[in-house]
Amino acid sequence: MRRRPVVAGVLALAFGVVLVGCAGEPMPTPTPSSSRSSSPTPEPTKTAAVPVFRPNGSAAANQQYFDYINRTLAINQGMSSGRVIVDTLVAAGFTKADMEVTDDTTAINIPVDAIQVAVRFKGECLIGQFSPAGYTGILAPMLGTGTCLIGKTMPINW
């Protein structure tokens, strides 16, 4: 029977702590403001410059351009297809012979969850992935095989 007073005391203490926590500072009273703001109007933000292709530059120097081209394609056409991705990169200045792209469909002809594309560029790899979530790109070292992507890729023979 001695437990009840102890439990009641603990509950009363806990309830008191909760009440003290709720009794913070009073809410501030809003004050009327004039229709004119005394703070300066912020200047419009400048738009970022569109990256440019640097054929004599390094892979790192072209990563921003590679990602820009692919991100723009992803925004405008979604995942698209490997052929459209390759053709878009060729039109942007990259060499088709240096590209790899994964298949658009699985072995049982179901659309893939993602398409990867890679461009071998001066001994490094610009790699992009298109998925329903959007586009992601990285710069990676070339594999010992002289390629960028692991696994089966689609022949680029058009």
Question: What would the pLDDT profile of 40-64 be if each residue is shown by its tens digit?
Answer: 444 555 667 899 999 999 999 999 9
Enter the tokens of residue 131: 């998925």
Higher pLDDT, 43 or 66: 66
- Count CB-CB contacts under 10 A for residue 63: 20
Does any domain span residue 117? yes
Q: Inform me whether the pLDDT recorded for 100 exceeds 50.
A: yes
Mean pLDDT of 10-38: 42
The span from the CA of 92 to the CA of 115, in Å, is: 19
97 band by pLDDT with thresholds 50, 70 and 90 = very high
0.85 exceeded by pTM: no
Q: Is residue 68 part of a domain?
A: yes
pLDDT for res 41? 45
Residues pairing with 127 in the sheet: 118, 138
State the Cα torsion 16-17-21-24 to the nearest 10°: 50
96, 117 in Cβ contact below 8 A?
Answer: no
Computed over every residue of the chain, the mean pLDDT equals: 81
Q: How confident is the model at residue 123 (pLDDT cuts 50, 70, 90)?
A: very high
Mean pLDDT of 139-143: 98
Average pLDDT over residues 128-137: 97
Residue carrying structure tokens 């959007």: 134
pLDDT at position 25 over 70: no
Is position 135 within any domain? Answer: yes
Domain assignment of residue 125, given as a range: 59-141
> Looking at the 3D structure of the chain, how many domains does it have?
1
pLDDT of residue 113: 96
Query: Residue 30 falls within a domain, yes or no?
Result: no
- Percentage of residues of the chain with pLDDT beyond 90: 68
Residue 39 lies in a domain: no
Helices 59-77, 82-91: axis angle to 10 degrees equals: 130
Domain assignment of residue 147, yes or no: no
| 34 falls within a domain | no
49, part of any domain: no
